[in-house]
Amino acid sequence: MKIDNFKDLYIAELQELVSMEDQLSDALKRMADVAVHPSLKLALAEHQQETVQQAQRLQNILRRHGADARVHTDQAVESLIEETAKMMKMVTQDDATLR
C-alpha cells in the first residue's frame, strides 16, 4: 500500500493491528490449551476472547473506511510468537504448573 497522506497511514496501522490481534489470538489459544494450572488457563482464555473482540472492532473500523483488514502479516509479532512456540517446547509439564 502506498502511503500518501495521514489517512493512508491510519489505515495501514489499523491493518497492522488486525494482523497482530489475529496472531495473538491464535497464540493465546494454543497457550491456554497447554496450560495446566486452572488460573493460568482461565487468564489466557479470557485474554484470547478480549483479543478476538479487539480484532473485530478494528475490522469494523476498516470496513467503514472501505479498506481490507487482511492486507499483510505483522512480521514483528509473527517472530515473537515463533520464539514463544520454541520456548513452550522446552517447558516440562512440571514446570508449567504453579505450586
Record the pTM.
0.80
Would you state the cell numbers that stand for residue 3, as one nine-digit string?
502511503
State the Cα torsion 6-9-11-12 to the nearest 10°.
170
User: Cβ(82)–Cβ(23) under 8 Å?
Assistant: no
pLDDT band at 99 (very low <50, low <70, confident <90, very high): very low
Nearest Cα to Cα of residue 50 among 73, 32, 36, 71? 32
- Which residues lie below 8 Å from residue 98, measured CB to CB, with a gap of 6+? 37, 39, 40
Q: Where are the domains of the chain?
A: 6-94
Q: Identify the pLDDT of residue 70.
A: 84
Q: Which CATH architecture has domain 6-94?
A: Up-down Bundle (1.20)
Helices 75-90, 6-34: inter-axial angle, 10-degree rounding? 10
- Which residues lie below 8 Å from residue 31, measured CB to CB, with a gap of 6+? 44, 84, 88
pLDDT in tens, 68-82: 988 878 888 889 888
Q: Identify the pLDDT of residue 85.
A: 82
pLDDT in tens, 15-56: 999 999 999 999 999 889 888 889 999 999 999 999 999 999
